[in-house]
Structure 1
């Protein structure tokens, strides 16, 4: 049996890892050590790569939702025999609250089956497969737990019902009656750890996870428009944060394709420096300065002293740089879409926009940086500005990470301008008059180049590359970073042309021929329409986009504009960040905040 569609999954998190569980009650993805570790359940990518299902033995009608303001899932299965609820949660450390949740994850997945009415026959199938499905575990009973061990992994399953064991798997058929409950916990520990997997009572896990997530959200009480959607997206971004380092992964999965049957199947369980300024803006909107400080501290540690060529563009969750890519040819792939990849060779690419994201992020949170700047931060920002003076002239892979050849991508040049512009704005906090003058001269040269060589008369728009003739949705960043006003005639024309030629039913493709709408690009269009004064249309577009999330409020990377099916890795942090930032701009507009037509260079600091 294959896994469900990606949009038919819920997302659970514990500050170290993520679980995807589908509507039927099958856990199809879990890498318990950390987000980018090998899976113990991988049916998402192959029917034989492991799963853990609990659900009715007969046909059922299903409704699911998160418990309010949490990442704790409740699925109600209604059958001819009665109704049952299954509650799923990844454990947080007992008693951890607020910003402390997820720092010390117990690596414990809990499932509780509650009888609501009647007597419902249930079936459990537990089939762990380690190392992305390569390894069949040995099962043995030990001190009231079913231990699955092989290689570097040890899992301990505790159940309130008897389990029958087969070769590397366990089963149970049981009946749940109204008013009764059955409890299941699955703990992880490294095979050679002297401590066994942590054991918490199942109900304690659920109660503590509910209290923990709510305590975090209580510290970040967003009061703007679309409050429910923003708070859900904020929880998702927090759930995709590797709490020991503060890094936000791009997605919880690998190799969910951009197009079914296609080969653009990449591992997104890493951290892109490009996402940084957008993430920080979202955290300003929906979180607080504590979260922002954690993010910037991570970037400084990960980048360290910027030397060599090119500037590193992405990292592992603990700051690793070598993310060498390899194929898992033993896996069939999501919906038979191969290859399945682990690692991501984009880490080797030149992407000249990265200093723009880093310096843009520093400027965004300048009120919370030391004054004077710490030597480490000053050195990092100065080096990135200095590198941009020369690097802006180079072609690169661009923000869509083309693997065929390097080009002079317009959005990369614009972000080079951003890097130099923000460096100049820092003024004496960052450098002396000579350096500031040199950066300003380079900034102005970049701007002139973009304005002259980026414009294409035949298109009536700024093209995706210098002297190019193709459209690219990343050009919409120009007004969002303050390069050009959205109402400037050529920018306004560009927005119109991109919307007309790349948009379908409110979903914006990255380029002509892109198989699906890219969610964050669609939210960029919302922001551009706001800045251009098209306020009513921006609201309608936002509401249409927000309505395309699955029924738990989750977005993948892309959405097919014809079928409405979500595609790409899931959930996608960039998509949720785009929703938060667009909702924030609409909220500013509704509140009449002065300067709503400008990018948020001067956010109000928010303390928890």
Structure 2
């Protein structure tokens, strides 16, 4: 049957891992130990690599939605003889509420089937395949559970129906009438030293997950434009947070293709420093500031004191070696190979990370006062690296795997690091340090304005001394490097929109196969800040309508077919929606995008030198 389209999937989370289940009732992805652990269901990448289906036996239609303010999914199946609802949730710790949600996961997937009308024959097919589909587990009946074991993993399936077992899989057929329910739970535990998997009641799992997610949502209010879309996106980003450390994964999946049948199929189950900055900005928008110390603390511990190239990404507990390898036994989504585990981008130099980290800290400065010593040490070290390394070529924020170049957005982010360090002033360094950082900042700016601009393209370009375009330069007004209504920036925005945009979706560069969602939201923000508020709002609404039926964004969208592409759901895309809505709200309220630094944060030497900055 296959797993259909990427956008057909719903997303469940528990603070450690995620499940993807399609609208036909098939669980096609679950890495139960944590986001980047080996999967037990891998149908997303190969039809034979494991799934768990509960669906009507015969023709049906389906309609689905999240229960309000939760990541609990309810799918209604309608057949010629009746209708049933299947409610799916990953268990949260019983009684966990607010900021405790997700800290301790029981690692249980619950499914409850409830008859709504008439009667509906259904079937169950359970086919676990451990280690990314490599291993067929042993199935053994033990008390009231069907236990699957292989290598270091164990799954206990408890089903309210009789099951027929074959080698490595189980089948069941049952009928549900109006008012009847059937309960199913699937619990994971490591095979050694952890005890057996948790035994939980499916109805209680659902009820507790509903209460837990709603309690978290109740702590995070947002009163700006597009409130419902923003709140859902905030919930999705929280669902992609590994709660024990505070790391946010780029996506819960791996190797979903940027182009069907193509080779750019990367593992996104890790945390990027770049995403960290935009995530904190998004949380700031939705009044979710209580977790700042957790997230900043994760960054400080993960980055430590590096003598070599600063890693741009980490495992969810701060691991650095994310060496990439191929899974040759998997056919890939829609035949898109290679299927990759790990991501060799961890080896790259990306000079943009300095600015992203400093900007995140600046946004959250009120919550870092007093500044923890490890955070201060980290920010100082990154500032010094920006001052020292800004002139070096790098792989750029799109992680080019060919030669390093002098990417303009990387230089701009080095400027951002130095600018925010100057704003922090004595909180980060001595007066001499700040003066030195200010001088380096202004040198970066002069160089970007000279070598990053192309008279032929009439735009700031991808890299120094080229005419190639890149949507990442739209960050320039968003970080305060240049006002959006500066003539050079207006020309850049216009040129990028004309040459890289189609049907409201903006590609990263010419030749990029699909629109990149967050870049499209950057365009929204730039238009709004440049005074084109009405057009920015229209573009936002077109983009916000590109989600799937559950409100979920992929990384990219084909501008011609509308097909969702890349890993799914994508934190970057949802963060783009939040920040885009926030920028529109700020513009309507007359708030400046980047307020000036308070005078007390700036040394006298910098205050008197403001007029001398190169324009």
TM-score range, shorter chain: over 0.9
Equivalent residue in structure 2 for 1:449, among 447, 450, 464: 447
Preserved CA contact (<8 Å) 1:13 1:240: yes
Q: Which residue of 1 aligns with 2:113?
A: 113
Q: Which residue of 2 aligns with 1:184?
A: 184
Equivalent residue in structure 2 for 1:471, among 469, 472, 485: 469
Q: Which residue of 2 aligns with 1:410?
A: 408
In structure 2, C-alpha distance between the alignment counterparts of 1:362 and 1:344, rounded to whole Å: 26
In structure 2, C-alpha distance between the alignment counterparts of 1:166 and 1:192, rounded to whole Å: 25
In structure 1, C-alpha distance between the alignment counterparts of 2:443 and 2:387, rounded to whole Å: 10
1:90 Cα deviation from its structure 2 partner: 0.3
Preserved CA contact (<8 Å) 1:363 1:601: no
In structure 2, C-alpha distance between the alignment counterparts of 1:204 and 1:25, rounded to whole Å: 21
Q: Which residue of 2 aligns with 1:97?
A: 97
1:277 Cα deviation from its structure 2 partner: 1.5
Preserved CA contact (<8 Å) 1:284 1:292: no
1:366 Cα deviation from its structure 2 partner: 1.0
Q: Which residue of 1 aligns with 2:350?
A: 351
Unaligned runs of 5+ in 1: 604-608
Equivalent residue in structure 1 for 2:506, among 505, 508, 512: 508
Of residues 20-29 and 429-438 in structure 1, the stretch that sits farther from structure 2 once superposed is 429-438
Q: Does 1:562 align with 2:557?
A: no
In structure 2, C-alpha distance between the alignment counterparts of 1:194 and 1:437, rounded to whole Å: 55
Secondary structure, aligned partner of 2:264: coil
1:3 Cα deviation from its structure 2 partner: 1.2
Q: Does 1:390 align with 2:385?
A: no
Distance 1:602 1:102, change over 3 A: farther
Secondary structure, aligned partner of 1:431: coil
Equivalent residue in structure 2 for 1:599, among 570, 594, 600: 594
Task: Give the ranges of 4+ consecutive aligned residues of structure 1 lying more than 3 Å apart after TM superposition.
Answer: 599-603
1:321 Cα deviation from its structure 2 partner: 0.5
Q: Which residue of 1 aligns with 2:433?
A: 435
Of residues 382-391 and 168-177 in structure 1, the stretch that sits farther from structure 2 once superposed is 382-391
1:600 Cα deviation from its structure 2 partner: 6.5
1:602 Cα deviation from its structure 2 partner: 8.0
In structure 2, C-alpha distance between the alignment counterparts of 1:601 and 1:218, rounded to whole Å: 32
In structure 2, C-alpha distance between the alignment counterparts of 1:298 and 1:485, rounded to whole Å: 33
Q: Which residue of 1 aligns with 2:544?
A: 546
Preserved CA contact (<8 Å) 1:454 1:462: yes
Preserved CA contact (<8 Å) 2:297 2:375: no
Preserved CA contact (<8 Å) 1:479 1:599: no
Matches for 1:205-284 after TM superposition, within 5 Å: 205-284=205-284
Secondary structure, aligned partner of 1:115: strand
Q: Which residue of 2 aligns with 1:69?
A: 69
1:225 Cα deviation from its structure 2 partner: 1.1
Preserved CA contact (<8 Å) 1:277 1:357: yes
Unaligned runs of 5+ in 2: 599-615
Distance 1:236 1:220, change over 3 A: same
Matches for 1:488-527 after TM superposition, within 5 Å: 488-527=486-525
Matches for 1:193-204 after TM superposition, within 5 Å: 193-204=193-204
Secondary structure, aligned partner of 1:109: strand
Distance 1:194 1:349, change over 3 A: closer
Q: Does 1:362 align with 2:357?
A: no
In structure 1, C-alpha distance between the alignment counterparts of 2:596 and 2:131, rounded to whole Å: 45
Secondary structure, aligned partner of 1:135: coil
In structure 2, C-alpha distance between the alignment counterparts of 1:578 and 1:125, rounded to whole Å: 38
Preserved CA contact (<8 Å) 2:225 2:582: yes
Preserved CA contact (<8 Å) 1:364 1:602: no
Once the two structures are superposed, residues 85-131 of structure 1 have per-residue CA deviations (whole angstroms, 9 ceiling, x without a partner) of 10000000000000001000000000011111111110000000000
1:563 Cα deviation from its structure 2 partner: 0.3
In structure 2, C-alpha distance between the alignment counterparts of 1:239 and 1:532, rounded to whole Å: 34
In structure 2, C-alpha distance between the alignment counterparts of 1:210 and 1:386, rounded to whole Å: 46
Distance 1:111 1:600, change over 3 A: farther
1:601 Cα deviation from its structure 2 partner: 7.4
1:176 Cα deviation from its structure 2 partner: 0.7
Q: Does 1:336 align with 2:331?
A: no
In structure 2, C-alpha distance between the alignment counterparts of 1:567 and 1:142, rounded to whole Å: 42
Of residues 253-262 and 286-295 in structure 1, the stretch that sits farther from structure 2 once superposed is 286-295
1:214 Cα deviation from its structure 2 partner: 0.3
1:588 Cα deviation from its structure 2 partner: 2.1
Corresponding residue pairs, total: 598
Secondary structure, aligned partner of 1:136: coil
Once the two structures are superposed, residues 204-245 of structure 1 have per-residue CA deviations (whole angstroms, 9 ceiling, x without a partner) of 000000000000000002121111101110110000000000
TM-score, normalising length: structure 2: 0.96
Q: Which residue of 2 aligns with 1:33?
A: 33
Secondary structure, aligned partner of 2:109: strand
Distance 1:97 1:90, change over 3 A: same
1:25 Cα deviation from its structure 2 partner: 0.1
Q: Which residue of 1 aligns with 2:585?
A: 587
TM-score, normalising length: structure 1: 0.97
Secondary structure, aligned partner of 2:298: helix
1:376 Cα deviation from its structure 2 partner: 1.7
Q: Which residue of 2 aligns with 1:325?
A: 324
Q: Which residue of 2 aligns with 1:606?
A: none
Preserved CA contact (<8 Å) 2:254 2:268: yes
In structure 1, C-alpha distance between the alignment counterparts of 2:179 and 2:365, rounded to whole Å: 55
In structure 1, C-alpha distance between the alignment counterparts of 2:182 and 2:276, rounded to whole Å: 43
Preserved CA contact (<8 Å) 2:14 2:90: yes
Secondary structure, aligned partner of 1:514: coil
Of residues 358-367 and 536-545 in structure 1, the stretch that sits farther from structure 2 once superposed is 358-367
Preserved CA contact (<8 Å) 2:423 2:597: no
In structure 1, C-alpha distance between the alignment counterparts of 2:188 and 2:375, rounded to whole Å: 38
Of residues 556-565 and 273-282 in structure 1, the stretch that sits farther from structure 2 once superposed is 273-282
1:433 Cα deviation from its structure 2 partner: 1.6
Preserved CA contact (<8 Å) 2:292 2:367: no
In structure 2, C-alpha distance between the alignment counterparts of 1:93 and 1:123, rounded to whole Å: 30
Q: Which residue of 1 aligns with 2:530?
A: 532
